[in-house]
């Protein structure tokens, strides 16, 4: 216990955050909880960092984030560039600014996205700006008490081994964060970075049909405004948004777990779909890199499609709107085998990868053109004949493509009297 107390005192001396300093001071006063905070640490891996907010090395906090930023800066080296994004979770904006401050202090060029924005926009920005790396501060669909730190490389995809090991070792070598050189010269990007992402989505294979009514929820995340802009730019009617879940809220007050796969998370969206006679219900998770789909049943009620079902539907849509035998479609080893059959039917290349989009993006061989990848956990990335605009899962691009597929599907009259795609 005395060892934990000493570690806690050292942590307290360098912590720049008054909230976690007060938390740690209270822990030191009563001696409770120190072993859990200081007996382990968040490990940096291919998914970056993710954990509960709070003081100590086994929590997400400003010291943990500054150490991660310093380790990444060491691996990148002075003169490199990094673009930094963040969602609307507790602490995200502060963690993003700390990353920019540490990066510029280490001699890097740092760009900061202008506001809380979706993860796929950060992945797109890395390649659009020609950055050497990207950081996204998000815990995706984790509970409200969590936050996280994803790292992307210059190809716009999440890092893979052995790069994660190099960054982890560099983080471990960082000393006190109050002794790090801190810069102030980062650039806050403007709305043109959002426009660049939206322009890339307008080149997706969306066809010409636009007659589709959609009910949508961002699940208290950052998807709403970008989704509405993307649908307007592509010429679709504006989705009707679940009012109670429309604005970003880091407490996620209407859901026990902000993941569209969890029971009950889609209830408000499905109710809105029924009330408005929508053709589809769509949902993004809080950082908008996943997309869930609900469809009305002919006899009434709704059914949520599985990730594999949406994966197959989107594969058919993409392959009907793209051309060339060099096209490649990829899914993971834990997803359905149907994509292999769809690829064979369309006479295009197929590959299987390990779980995770970082591996989907690495699949295939030279000369193959990746036009579509998906994993069963509601993650999809699709492109046209120019390739993929986002080298990661993209819940906004997927929402557009699902809307396009539904709009191009012949209608039938259901027993209830409503008209819906079938």
Of 127, 95, 90, 88, which is closest to residue 112 (Cα–Cα)? 95
Residues 177, 112: Cα–Cα separation, whole Å: 21
Q: What gap in Å lies between CA 77 and CA 157, rounded to an integer?
A: 19
Name the active-site residue from 81, 92, 140, 353.
140
E strands in 138-193: 146-153, 187-188
DSSP string, 370-389: EEEEEETTTEEEE-BTTB-S
* Residue-level length of the chain: 422
What sign for the dihedral angle of Cα 147, 153, 134, 101? positive
Cβ atoms within 10 Å, residue 389: 25
Structure token pair of residue 94: 């502060």
- In order, the DSSP letters of 290-342 are -EEEEEE-TTSSEEEPPHHHHHHHHHHHHHHS---TTEEEEEETTS-THHHHH
Q: Please state, in angstroms and as integers, the Cα–Cα distance from residue 244 to each residue in 117, 159, 291, following that order.
A: 19, 36, 19
Half-sphere exposure of 319 (CA within 13 A, CB side): 25
Residues with Cβ < 8 Å from 288, sequence gap 6 or more? 118, 119, 120, 218, 221, 222, 223, 226, 227, 395, 396
CA 282 to the chain's CA centroid: 16
Half-sphere exposure at residue 378, Cβ-oriented, CA atoms within 13 angstroms: 24
Distances (CA, A) of 48 to 12, 43, 71, 327, 343: 24, 8, 12, 31, 33
Annotated active-site residue 140? The verdict is yes
Q: What are the catalytic residues?
A: 140
């Amino acid at each position: 216990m005395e060892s934990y107390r000493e570690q806690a005192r050292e942590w307290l001396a360098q912590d720049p955050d008054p909230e976690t300093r007060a938390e740690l001071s209270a822990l030191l006063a009563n001696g409770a909880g120190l072993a859990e905070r200081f007996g382990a640490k968040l490990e940096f891996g291919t998914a970056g960092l993710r954990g509960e907010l709070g003081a100590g090395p086994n929590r997400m906090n400003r010291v943990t984030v500054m150490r991660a930023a310093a380790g990444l800066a060491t691996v990148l080296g002075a003169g490199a560039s990094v673009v930094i994004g963040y969602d609307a979770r507790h602490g995200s904006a502060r963690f993003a600014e700390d990353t920019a401050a540490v990066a510029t202090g280490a001699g890097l060029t740092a760009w900061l996205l202008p506001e809380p924005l979706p993860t796929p926009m950060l992945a797109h920005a890395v390649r659009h700006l020609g950055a050497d790396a990207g950081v996204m501060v998000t815990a995706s669909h984790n509970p409200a008490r969590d936050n996280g730190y994803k790292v992307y490389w210059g190809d716009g995809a999440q890092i893979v081994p052995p790069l994660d090991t190099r960054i982890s070792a560099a983080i471990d070598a960082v000393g006190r964060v109050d002794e790090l050189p801190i810069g102030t010269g980062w650039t806050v990007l403007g709305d043109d970075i959002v426009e660049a992402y939206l322009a890339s989505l307008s080149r997706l294979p969306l066809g010409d049909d636009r007659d589709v009514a959609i009910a949508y929820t961002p699940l208290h995340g950052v998807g709403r405004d970008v989704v509405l802009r993307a649908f307007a730019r592509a010429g679709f009617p504006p989705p009707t948004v679940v009012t109670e879940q429309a604005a970003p809220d880091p407490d996620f007050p209407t859901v026990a777990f902000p993941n569209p796969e969890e029971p009950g998370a889609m209830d408000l969206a499905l109710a809105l779909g029924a009330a408005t006679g929508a053709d589809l219900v769509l949902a993004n998770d809080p950082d908008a890199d996943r997309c869930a789909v609900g469809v009305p049943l002919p006899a009434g009620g709704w059914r949520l499609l599985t990730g594999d079902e949406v994966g197959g539907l989107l594969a058919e849509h993409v392959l009907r709107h793209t051309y060339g035998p060099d096209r490649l479609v990829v899914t993971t080893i834990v997803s359905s085998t149907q994509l292999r059959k769809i690829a064979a039917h369309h006479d295009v290349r197929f590959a299987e990868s390990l779980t995770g989009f970082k591996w989907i993006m690495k699949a295939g061989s030279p000369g193959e053109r990746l036009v579509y990848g998906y994993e069963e956990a509601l993650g999809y990335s699709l492109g046209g004949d120019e390739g993929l605009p986002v080298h990661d899962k993209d819940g906004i691009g997927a929402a557009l493509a699902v809307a396009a597929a539904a709009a191009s599907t012949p209608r039938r009259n259901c027993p209830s009297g409503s008209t819906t795609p079938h």
